Amino acid sequence: MKKAEAYFNVLPEPTPLYSHFTPASWLLMNPGILAGDAEPVLKTLERAEVLFGSLNSLKAK
């Protein structure tokens, strides 16, 4: 997200600034894109599991 934000910040006017609402809204309106057992979906879920496992292990310390 930080890279996308930085990219939008250097675009010429009248390009709007990056908004977290737009991609979140799109995902809420298109939940099927994250459903199923397609390889990109499964890889993303595995990466998220590793990320949250790492974060949870830091919290336990």
| pLDDT for the residue numbered 61 | 62
58 close to 49: Cβ distance less than 8 angstroms: no
| pLDDT for the residue numbered 60 | 66
- Whose tokens are 């919290």? That residue is 59
Ordered DSSP codes for 5-55: HHHHHHSPTTPPPP-SHHHHHHHHH-GGGG-S--HHHHHHHHHHHHHHHHH
Alpha-carbon span 11 to 14, nearest angstrom: 8
| pLDDT for the residue numbered 3 | 84
Span 19-55, pLDDT tens digits: 788 888 998 999 888 788 889 889 988 999 999 999 9
Here the tokens at position 25 are 């809204």
